[in-house]
Structure 1
Amino acid sequence: MAPRAVIFGLSGVLLRPGLQHFLSACERDCHLPRGFLAAALDSGGSESLESRALRGQISLSQLQEELERRCRAAPGAAVPEGFSASRPFREFRSRARLEAPLLRAAAALRSHGFLTAVLANSWLDDTPGRSRWAELLQELRRSVHLVLESCRLGVAKPDPRVFSCALDALGVRPEEVLFLGCRERDLAPARALGMAALPVRDTGSALRDLQRITGVQPPGPELPVAVEPQEVAHGYVEIRPGVRFHFAELGRGPALVLCHGFPESWLAWRFQLPALAGAGFRAMALDMKGFGESSAPPDVSEYSQERICQVGNPGNVGADPDGMISSLSWINWAVASLNTPFRPAQPIKIPAVASLNTPFRPAQPGSDPLEQLRRIPNFDYQLYFQQPGVAEAELEKDIERTLKILIRSHEPEDRLPVDLDLRHVQERGGLLVGLPEDPPGSRLLPPPALDYYVRQFRASGFRGPLNWYRNVRENWSWALRARHRTIRLPALLVTAGKDPVLQPRLSHGMEAWVPQLQRRHLENCGHWTQLERPAELNRILLEWLRELPPEPLPPNSPNSKL
């Protein structure tokens, strides 16, 4: 029988990480025995501190006072100076976050006629930070029919009576209910009553199980505001006679240069431009050389790192960059490591550099760089790109098909019946061989964006973009000049756990060459980071930019105190 109602647990399901995570962290930091705080909370069975607080018989402040006393009185316990029993509760309240994908799934179930509720083991919060809990409950109530708090009901999980309260409130029978919980001791009484019980280990698998059981497709992630081509200013800068860059810009303030990868466009930054501009930056997204409206000279040598970094007068843009952010491209590392003068008489100062997915490795003497590529199976496509004219013929045959195959998310619902295999490309005779002739649309390229990309590649062709891959030995020889240098700029690397090409392990040891490197990781993200996880990436970039020394925040930044 398909369920009529879905009940979600809160801590560890919709709200993560759960309290246990912060209890363990406090124990570790204070050098307390493992499980020390949990034991102090649970001691006494049904009359334990935790049980009484969850039933609303004592408040959170009373729980914390008694827990502090118990910890300090525990025999053999060496509670350190400065220990506070309130710390894990404060951190839980301030740092735990609602799982937005599951919350959206709950709202979708509600809109499809399912009854929905949250069954929360909670306490009466009378501490100074109690407004945070009230805000959280308000957000939950916008997505589900009912939020049932144990401290209001007078009974808490795993007591079977709390499930009976939920059944009565929803007006359903146990066999009509699906319950999602993260602990077996909560799942067991639900099953005993006749409910279907779904253990939640991670959000992704929970979403897939929910869809399988209910038949309701979970909604995609809420996307931040994106710009359309007509909503930004477009500029051109001549870097030397006959060669120019096109860029799209938004905002005023310190300048940020955004560099895309292959096969992309400045429009790959459509979700980041408004966020960066809104934070008080002048965000400039380039069409890289050979792409879009930038010049696309046919000579392979025009796309070597050395040649690309020879910029005659970027001052025509109106400002030296205050930072470079690059997606799937090594150009920012090249600029940073070689400290190449963009203008012979007046080098540009780049105070910080960030990279999405792409790590930095200095050139190694005595090894053929093409042979190094051959040792990495997933880089076989780059060897296929080496012969001019071959890959161009395949990719330009049907540009829409090419883009719909190459630019896809790693999510199961966006995958093709046959996966794109970057290995054995030369042996197969092409990158797209064996892939569908008429692939479905990609969630990363909705029709307006896909149409724009197609027009751009029809105009520029693929020769220029592919020429970037055809200077392997030249780039290696040039980079050897800087092999003993370190990049001493503030730097950020964002890695993606599901990227099949630029795997996070390739960045191991980068700190030896980039001592100020900061790392951020998006585990549930594939190759196209700024399109797959735009909201998370925007948050990461803005947090990093806010922390950069020594320049102050732009006056109109929402986090500025000026």
Structure 2
Amino acid sequence: MARRAVLFDLGGVLFGPGLQPFLGSCERDCALPRNFLWKVMSAGGSNSPYAKVMRGQITLSQLFSEMEEGCRQHATASGVTLPPTFSVAQAFEEMAAKGTVNAPLLQAAKVLRRNGFKTCVLTNNWVDDSAGRLFTATLMNLLHRHFDLVIESCRLGMQKPDPKIYTYALDALQAKPQEVILLDDIGENLKPAQEMGMATVLVRDTETVLKELEELSGIQLLTQQEPLPTACDPTNVTHGYVPIRHGVQLHFVEMGQGPVVCLCHGFPESWLSWRFQIPALVDAGFRVIALEMKGYGESTAPPDIKEYSQEQICKTPSPQGIPQTVLIGHDWGGALVWNMALFYPERVRAVASLNTPYRPADPSVDIVERMKSIPTFDYQFYFQEPGVAEAELEKDIGRTLKALIRSTRQEDRLPVTSEFHRVQERGGLLVGLPENPPASQILHGPELQYYIQRFQKSGFRYGPLNWYRNMRPNWHWALSAKDRKITMPALMVTAGKDKVLHPNMSKGMEEWVSQYSPSPAQPWLCS
């Protein structure tokens, strides 16, 4: 029977060093006899402080209180002197501070999940009401994003090695024992799983564990390339709205805690374009807000073309009333974040753009004539006449998105690719492309359906295409700041295979951006 699920313990497997190694280290630091702390924790068997906290009968702070008293009694009985500064609570806080996530095993879990395995954290854990509980919240938030299930003993009233918790996990995974692999650093916790028919791995060192897991799963883990970050699910993020004025609002999603990063997408996209970056930035310690730009999806789409000028869009209030953010934009979102940095620097902590370079407005050449001289911008002139491009793009939204949002990999290319020059001459952006193209490697399945639903709601005219219909208003507004410089930290990420915004268009940006860092694109940034 093929294996299709993997259970990971937390302490000592996904997060180290684990409880017993920590207790041993604490005993050495405090000059206590070996197993002193464990004897206190486990005294009383099924009614011990350890058993009660794992079953959720007491909280972590109550465990500290019971252990403090137990340590004093045990020290007196055994003739041991406790250090004057001895503190169980402080010791546990130090364990949290010193512990680290096992990155290779977390990566292995991501790879397994991408290959169709269900992944679950099955842990003897406690209800953390201590002073340092923010650490626990952060760790659990990470686990819930990267695993299909997180099962904690303290939520169920039963703990490993009680066979009932393994039965619960199997039912939750809808899996048979022979389909499951369990990783744990305590042999006693593996025995009931083995007796039930699960494959088990005793965790001692990471490389050996990966080898065993690779053999049992049949999935290559040791030489696996870095996988894409886990994508966020629209149903598992917080949704909100920014009121602009009566009847007009922007939709956004939010995740994480820490300094604020605001993500601005381009055409023809959605906030879901950032589905890989959102969890990665959250894991890096940021609070992420991904906007659905004006005219897209659930954001309001006013009919007036002037509503989509850069000047008007930059006037949008900050989400959640946040006074200052790091702004990151792609495509039209890239143009927006540069303009925010230029015109509203007090609201921008740092700025980054993917694909879209910053260039100051040139007063010597009319912007329309300038763009007409660049063949790859021909499609933007096809977009100018209201009603023309939207009729083509809205005829079959699924076809439009599958044709336009594709990777540059050879196996993902269509027999005839979309060209951005001579669009007006051909009579359309999609002319010559297959009527029913296959889904692309970077937008398929539920994500493609989500995009289709978004554009069925918003269409292309009142929003997506109107962003292109403000060439001269955008130019005139930019001219008012042509001699200014962008002074906050700035990053420009170029994409070598972009057909329109070539990397060489970013040359010379350092003249106008004081704290400028250029960077070639990483593959996951371009997806």
TM-score normalised to structure 1 length: 0.53
**Residues 1:221 and 1:449: Cα distance change in structure 2 (over 3 Å):** farther
Spell out, residue by residue over 1:65-124, the C-alpha distance to the aligned partner (whole angstroms, 9 max, x if none).
xxxxxxxxxxxxxxxxxxxxxxxxxxxxxxxxxxx9xxx9xxx9xxxxxxxxxxxxxxxx
Alpha-carbon deviation of 1:447? 1.1
Aligned to 1:327: 330
Spell out, residue by residue over 1:173-229, the C-alpha distance to the aligned partner (whole angstroms, 9 max, x if none).
xxxxxxxxxxxxxxxxxxxxxxxxxxxxxxxxxxxxxxxxxxxxx999722111110
Letter in 2 for 1:328: D
Instruction: Give the Cα–Cα distance (whole angstroms) in 2 for the partners of residues 305 and 142 of structure 1.
Output: 55
Instruction: Give the Cα–Cα distance (whole angstroms) in 2 for the partners of residues 143 and 502 of structure 1.
Output: 44
How is 1:484-495 mapped onto 2 (pairs within 5 angstroms)?
484-495=483-494
Are the aligned partners of 1:497 and 1:503 in contact in 2 as well (CA < 8 Å)? yes
Aligned to 1:530: 525
Indicate whether 1:502 and 2:505 are aligned: no
Alpha-carbon deviation of 1:490? 0.3
TM-score normalised to structure 2 length: 0.57
Alpha-carbon deviation of 1:322? 2.4
Instruction: Give the Cα–Cα distance (whole angstroms) in 2 for the partners of residues 530 and 243 of structure 1.
Output: 31
**Corresponding residue to 2:285 among 280, 285, 290:** 280
Spell out, residue by residue over 1:264-283, the C-alpha distance to the aligned partner (whole angstroms, 9 max, x if none).
00000000111111222110
**Partner SS state of residue 323, structure 1:** strand
Are the aligned partners of 2:495 and 2:526 in contact in 1 as well (CA < 8 Å)? no
Aligned to 1:360: 358
**Residues 1:256 and 1:432: Cα distance change in structure 2 (over 3 Å):** same
Indicate whether 1:228 and 2:204 are aligned: no
Aligned to 2:17: none
**Corresponding residue to 2:438 among 437, 440, 446:** 440
Letter in 2 for 1:339: Y
Instruction: Give the Cα–Cα distance (whole angstroms) in 1 for the partners of residues 446 and 209 of structure 2.
Output: 33
Aligned to 1:371: 369
**Residues 1:413 and 1:310: Cα distance change in structure 2 (over 3 Å):** same
Letter in 2 for 1:512: E
Alpha-carbon deviation of 1:404? 0.3
Instruction: Give the Cα–Cα distance (whole angstroms) in 2 for the partners of residues 441 and 410 of structure 1.
Output: 14
Aligned to 1:418: 416
**Residues 1:143 and 1:423: Cα distance change in structure 2 (over 3 Å):** farther
**Residues 1:221 and 1:252: Cα distance change in structure 2 (over 3 Å):** closer
Indicate whether 1:239 and 2:244 are aligned: yes
**Residues 1:220 and 1:373: Cα distance change in structure 2 (over 3 Å):** farther
Indicate whether 1:337 and 2:342 are aligned: yes
Are the aligned partners of 1:323 and 1:352 in contact in 2 as well (CA < 8 Å)? yes
Instruction: Give the Cα–Cα distance (whole angstroms) in 2 for the partners of residues 139 and 352 of structure 1.
Output: 41
Aligned to 1:257: 262
Instruction: Give the Cα–Cα distance (whole angstroms) in 1 for the partners of residues 382 and 453 of structure 2.
Output: 25
Spell out, residue by residue over 1:464-520, the C-alpha distance to the aligned partner (whole angstroms, 9 max, x if none).
110000000000000000000010110001111111111100111000000211011
**Corresponding residue to 1:391 among 389, 392, 396:** 389
Alpha-carbon deviation of 1:243? 1.2
**Residues 1:142 and 1:423: Cα distance change in structure 2 (over 3 Å):** farther
**Corresponding residue to 2:320 among 297, 317, 320:** 317
Are the aligned partners of 1:374 and 1:380 in contact in 2 as well (CA < 8 Å)? yes
Letter in 2 for 1:403: L
Aligned to 1:473: 472
Instruction: Give the Cα–Cα distance (whole angstroms) in 2 for the partners of residues 470 and 408 of structure 1.
Output: 25
Work out the percentage of aligned pairs sharing the same amino acid: 55
**Residues 1:515 and 1:219: Cα distance change in structure 2 (over 3 Å):** same
Are the aligned partners of 2:310 and 2:339 in contact in 1 as well (CA < 8 Å)? yes
Instruction: Give the Cα–Cα distance (whole angstroms) in 2 for the partners of residues 220 and 417 of structure 1.
Output: 29
Name stretches of at least 5 consecutive residues in structure 2 with no aligned partner. Answer: 1-106, 116-204, 216-222
**Partner SS state of residue 515, structure 1:** strand
Instruction: Give the Cα–Cα distance (whole angstroms) in 2 for the partners of residues 354 and 386 of structure 1.
Output: 28
**Partner SS state of residue 341, structure 2:** helix
Name stretches of at least 5 consecutive residues in structure 1 with no aligned partner. Answer: 1-99, 109-134, 146-217, 341-347, 533-562
Are the aligned partners of 1:255 and 1:320 in contact in 2 as well (CA < 8 Å)? no
**Partner SS state of residue 516, structure 1:** strand
**Partner SS state of residue 476, structure 1:** helix
Count of matched residue pairs: 316
Instruction: Give the Cα–Cα distance (whole angstroms) in 2 for the partners of residues 224 and 451 of structure 1.
Output: 21
**Residues 1:143 and 1:493: Cα distance change in structure 2 (over 3 Å):** farther
Alpha-carbon deviation of 1:388? 0.7
Instruction: Give the Cα–Cα distance (whole angstroms) in 2 for the partners of residues 530 and 452 of structure 1.
Output: 20
Instruction: Give the Cα–Cα distance (whole angstroms) in 2 for the partners of residues 143 and 405 of structure 1.
Output: 39
Instruction: Give the Cα–Cα distance (whole angstroms) in 1 for the partners of residues 385 and 212 of structure 2.
Output: 57
Instruction: Give the Cα–Cα distance (whole angstroms) in 2 for the partners of residues 522 and 237 of structure 1.
Output: 31
Letter in 2 for 1:263: P
Spell out, residue by residue over 1:47-78, the C-alpha distance to the aligned partner (whole angstroms, 9 max, x if none).
xxxxxxxxxxxxxxxxxxxxxxxxxxxxxxxx
Are the aligned partners of 1:268 and 1:530 in contact in 2 as well (CA < 8 Å)? no
**Residues 1:377 and 1:264: Cα distance change in structure 2 (over 3 Å):** same
